[in-house]
Structure 1
Amino acid sequence: MLKIFNTQLNGIFTKIDAQLEEIEIASQLLMQAANGEGKIFIKTFDEINYFSEFMTKSTESLPHSITLDSLEEINTIDTTDRVLLVGSFFTPELNQWIKKLNDEDIDFVVISNKDKEHNTHESLMHYIDLSTPRAIVPTADYSKIITPHLMALNYIYYIMYAEMYEMKQDLNEE
């Protein structure tokens, strides 16, 4: 089982690696807020909520990041700020946030699995595919277990964190 798990995880990480350009662009967008006078507002959904505190309060948190809890808080966002939306799937709640941010003309990044039902991801300017749409390890009863959303997110997050750290170092050298 461990060998299958390892092989499947490597496949997910390879799919994420293929999005490196999108991840770099998303990192640059978020860094615009962090390096200026803005904030990075982070809104997570469902089981990704467990990662929210890490992204905003850990020693390796995104710079100038805070959580965004309600749609009413969108009124506190200005043109110097950016938003990061992270969910396992495109839920109605995530789609509501996307619509509201688009209506308010606020720059944002979405990390989630593709929206196969409505193809919402195709219309987004800054989208990163989580690449974990289903469980990956087969069991003896022919079901599958382990849907590694948080492992994939952690991998994407650290790529973004490293990109932003590097950008900050380059800006400080100028």
Structure 2
Amino acid sequence: MQKIFSTQLNGIFTKIQQESEYAIEDAARLLAQTLITRGTVYFATKDEMKAIAAEGLNGAEAFPAAKELSDTDIPELTSTDIVIAATGFREDEGLLGLIRKVKDQTETPVILLATRKKEGAPQEEEWDSYIPLHLRGGLVPFENGGRSGIPSAMAGLFAYHVICLTAKEILEEYE
């Protein structure tokens, strides 16, 4: 089981990296612009995807100006800020509504990491950068036909770290 899970997870990471190369680079450029202009990095996450916000707010490489996005923050957002949003396996309409408000009412860039696509799900064109996390369900099959092991947060953290590393690379070139 462990071997299957790690092989499948590695496949998810590879797919994110290969199929979202340009979106990751776009997201990294937007993040680098925010860091250069000393804007604020906002996080819009729920459930298991709060791991991404925890990393950006409290992790070893936390951003100097970062906070969780709330409705009351929207009027204060500027084009120097950025919103990193992530939807978990159970897409949350409240979260999507919040980040759509950001897009409708401000010039603030929004990066969306989303676990899966279904009818009515967020469309790539809605966001400044959209990175699908390529999860359709559990990674490990069982004899009874069920599947288990849905690593939404792990896939989200992988995409987040790739964006951050690419942004750091851009910042090094800038300096």
Alignment TM-score, normalising by the size of structure 1? 0.88
After superposition, the CA RMSD in angstroms is 1.7
| 1:39-94, Cα deviation, whole Å (9 max, x unpaired) | 111111221123322212222224532222x2121122112111111121432112
- Distance in structure 2 (CA, Å) of the matches to 1:155 and 1:129: 12
| 1:14-59, Cα deviation, whole Å (9 max, x unpaired) | 2101212111111111211111131111111221123322212222
- Distance in structure 2 (CA, Å) of the matches to 1:12 and 1:63: 30
Q: Does 1:151 align with 2:154?
A: yes
Tell me how far 1:102 sits from its aligned partner: 1.7
The residue number in structure 1 matching 2:37 is 36
Overall identity of the aligned pairs, in %: 29
Structure 1 segments, 4+ long, off by >4 Å, are: none
Asked if the contact 1:111–1:128 (Cα under 8 Å) also holds between the matched residues in 2, the reply is yes
Tell me how far 1:119 sits from its aligned partner: 4.0
Distance 1:143 1:114, change over 3 A: closer
Runs (5+) with no aligned partner, structure 2: none
Asked if the contact 1:48–1:88 (Cα under 8 Å) also holds between the matched residues in 2, the reply is yes
Q: Which gives a bigger RCO, structure 1 or 2 (Cα 8 Å, sep 6+)?
A: 2
Question: Secondary structure of 1:79's match?
Answer: coil
| 1:127-150, Cα deviation, whole Å (9 max, x unpaired) | 001112311101232211100112
The residue number in structure 1 matching 2:113 is 111
Alignment of 1:57-96 (within 5 A): 57-62=58-63, 64-68=65-69, 70-89=70-89, 90-96=91-97
Runs (5+) with no aligned partner, structure 1: none
Aligned residues: 171
- Distance in structure 2 (CA, Å) of the matches to 1:110 and 1:85: 5
The one-letter code of the counterpart of 2:129 is H
